[in-house]
């Protein structure tokens, strides 16, 4: 199946969960389809076809 990771299409295995896309939770946060998913909930989050996943971290900014 396909998901959209940070705007880019990505092929993932059926039943894939969030940690397979984001192995290290330090300093990052994840939203799936516009809703924040806490790091503690990543292992239980099974991705669905066409999920839109945003993974963000801190960058320089004013």
Partner 1 sequence: MDVADLGVEIAGTRVPSRLWLGTGGLTSHDTVRRVVEAGRPGLVTVSMRRTSDTGANGLLMTLRELGVRLLPNTAGCRSAREAVLTAQLAREALGTDWVKLEVIGDELSLLPDVIELVEAAAILVDDGFTVLPYTTADPVVAQRLVDVGCAAVMPLGSPIGSGRGITDPYAIESVRAAVSVPLVLDAGIGTASEAAQAMELGCDAVLVATAVTRSENPVAMARAMHLGVQAGALARGAGRVPRRQQARASSPMQGRVKI
24 versus 49: smaller Cβ distance to partner 1 = 24
Around Cβ 53, how many Cβ atoms within 10 Å? 21
Secondary structure of residue 31 in the 3-state scheme = strand
| From 11-19, 43-51, 53-61, span contacting partner 1 (CB under 8 A) | 53-61
Torsion-angle region of 50 (φ positive above 0: left; ψ -120 to 50: alpha; else: beta): left
15 versus 34: smaller Cβ distance to partner 1 = 34
DSSP state at residue 46? B
| From 10-18, 43-51, 52-60, span contacting partner 1 (CB under 8 A) | 52-60
Residues forming contacts to partner 1 in the complex (CB under 8 A) are: 6-7, 27-31, 34, 36, 38-39, 54-62
């Amino acid at each position: 199946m396909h998901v959209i990771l940070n705007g880019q299409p990505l092929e993932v295995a059926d039943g894939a969960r969030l940690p397979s896309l984001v192995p290290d939770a330090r300093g990052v946060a994840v939203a799936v389809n516009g809703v924040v998913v806490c790091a503690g909930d990543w292992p239980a989050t099974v991705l669905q076809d066409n999920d839109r996943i945003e993974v963000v971290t801190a960058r320089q900014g004013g």
